[in-house]
Structure 1
Amino acid sequence: MDILEKKLPFVSEMLKGVGQIMLQDNIWTGLLFLAGIFYDDYKMGFAAILAAAVGTLTARILKYDEGEIAMGLYGFSATLVGVALTFMFRADALIWGAVIVGAALATVLQHMAIKNGIPVFTLPFIVVTWAIVFALHSFTAIPPADPLVDTMVLSEEINNFTASTNGFGEVIFQGSFVAGVIFFIAVFLGNPVAALYGLAGSLFGAWIALFFAEPLKQVHMGLFSFNAVLCSIAFAGTKRKDGLLVMLSSLLAVLIDIYMLKMDWSVLAKAGGVLTFPFVAGTWLTLPVKKVLYRIND
């Protein structure tokens, strides 16, 4: 992959941008993420590539820091915008235009945050997607995307094992068991510790949701786990205190997720749902705790 970085740096930046969705500065991770998306739906796969390219190109045109571009920091929010829009709406010309505009806007917001040292994580994706989805629901009659074939499991049985990997899949709007496994392997290649923490976080998120009597099918689909997966990856490390931070952030993220869903805000439903906001909020609330813990000697 060093050859790819030297010969085709733009492709390398794009793939790392896709990989940064789960905080991995790794070309193979990004490539496997794309493979998992294409497995579930080729339109979302093409949208991911287009959005990652637009985000990376926007960063280059606006002359953002080359090191940040090379790490893929301007690709992950853009990629999520592209996948989200083609997941929610039928992919007609207006949606493809929205993917391009949304990816560029997410990149600009990401740069503003990085420049000011604000750890926004996926917030640019959330803000841009909420705005575009709300506008499309309010001013257009674009129908929702065709329902995907239910390939979540390889049999009719839904079980706790599939819930652990489905949490990975739902981070990028993928519901199949195969995509979830591919995403787990992709993160494992970049950071084995983060992947295993993500697996534990996915199960922990499912357990919390079950404790609050959330619908079993949604729990097994990973809809209450994907924010916990992101929190677990964000705080993954080899120290005991890292495990505490993973548990705290995952707990907060799932509770925020459940609270937002229980409130049943119509404006939120019209804007596309909670997305990864619980992950962002849970991480923000945990970062001050991390500072305190790391000031204490082992």
Structure 2
Amino acid sequence: MKTDKVYFWDPYLKGIGQIMLQNNALTGLLFLIGILINSPLMAVAAVVAVLVGTLTAKVLKFNEDNINSGLYGFNATLVGVALIAFFEPTITIWISIIVLSAVSTLIMNFCLEKKIPVFTFPFIVLTWISLYVFHSVAPIPDAAPDYLEELIHYHPFSLLDYGLGFGEVIFQGSLISGVIFFIAVYMSSPTAALYGLFGALFGVIVAILLKDRIEDVKLGMFSFNAVLCAIVFSGPKKINGLYVVIAVLLSGITEEIMLRLDLPVLTFPFVMGTWLTLVIKDVLVKRFYPSTNIE
């Protein structure tokens, strides 16, 4: 059987591209460029993290196809960028990036073997633990200037700046980075990119309907999770649009609850919205309409 040639950089660049579910090395390279333009330090963290996460899989001889597809790199990359976004880049933080990137690979491999659709959940759990430890157990100063404040004051509210949401998926509050990320996804999958754009704008509408959430919209909180939800369920069939709407709505509701409870959101609304939509798609629909072609 003829297989596509695998270049040595594929597992690493695809590992970055898989942040938005794109098995494409060029997409990963553009993501890295988008991060670099906005924050060279975060770009370094992304490179360190994806190298550690992927090399861990190689050393432990995990599934080669999964390695070459970048499945062991995207959670690690997000962990690396997140720790630099939230904390001062002390030696402890850099050591944590290395250790947690390796741990994310172990978690990811377990979930792949068990066929659990884990998405970015390893990143979420490891970052939640880091936030607790470095705020309450072994305090490390927050990143300066404050990341969230930079995002809040980046621009006055507009659908263009905050509706896209692509930039905030990888902790980038720059419009330029967001546009680069959109182009990167479009080059890999135009359908996914356009659905992601729709999801982001729909997420903004959900936020407005929930009232008093303009500041959160300005943070991209109701758009970047929606982008990921839309990309997951993007596809050529009409039913895909319905799944996107359901996933974004469930993601928005999850996010609203977390914000009211003052919980760190990250990409958990995306994961929860996607999990619940998969239940609707793969369990309820197939159970009650087993003879319909509704994929």
TM-score by length of 2: 0.91
| d(CA) in 2 for partners of 1:284, 1:98 | 29
| d(CA) in 1 for partners of 2:61, 2:212 | 46
1:288 is matched with 279
Structure 1: stretches of 5+ with no match in the other structure: none
1:278 is matched with 269
Deviation larger for 229-238 or 130-139: 130-139
1:250 Cα offset (Å): 0.6
* Match among 124, 127, 130 for residue 129 of structure 1: 127
2:16 is matched with 18
CA deviations over 1:153-207 (Å, ceiling 9, x no partner): 99x5531122222x11111111111111111111101110000000000010011
Residue 231 in 1 paired to residue 222 in 2?
A: no
2:157 is matched with 158
Letter in 2 for 1:164: G
* Match among 217, 221, 239 for residue 219 of structure 1: 217
Letter in 1 for 2:159: N
Following superposition of structure 1 onto structure 2, how do residues 30-109 of structure 1 map, counting pairs within 5 Å? 30-109=28-107
Structure 2: stretches of 5+ with no match in the other structure: none
Distance 1:157-1:139 versus aligned 2 partners, 3 A rule: closer
| d(CA) in 1 for partners of 2:5, 2:86 | 34
Paired residues of 1:55 and 1:107 also in contact (CA < 8 A): yes
* Match among 139, 153, 158 for residue 137 of structure 2: 139
What's the Cα RMSD here?
2.0
| d(CA) in 2 for partners of 1:237, 1:67 | 23
Deviation larger for 280-289 or 76-85: 280-289
Residue 244 in 1 paired to residue 242 in 2?
A: yes
Identity %: 49
2:258 is matched with 260
| d(CA) in 2 for partners of 1:274, 1:289 | 23
Paired residues of 1:151 and 1:177 also in contact (CA < 8 A): no
Distance 1:5-1:52 versus aligned 2 partners, 3 A rule: farther
1:142 Cα offset (Å): 1.5
| d(CA) in 2 for partners of 1:229, 1:152 | 19
Distance 1:5-1:174 versus aligned 2 partners, 3 A rule: farther
Letter in 2 for 1:237: G
Paired residues of 2:167 and 2:173 also in contact (CA < 8 A): yes
| d(CA) in 2 for partners of 1:151, 1:130 | 20
* Match among 104, 108, 111 for residue 110 of structure 1: 108
Letter in 1 for 2:174: S
Letter in 2 for 1:128: L
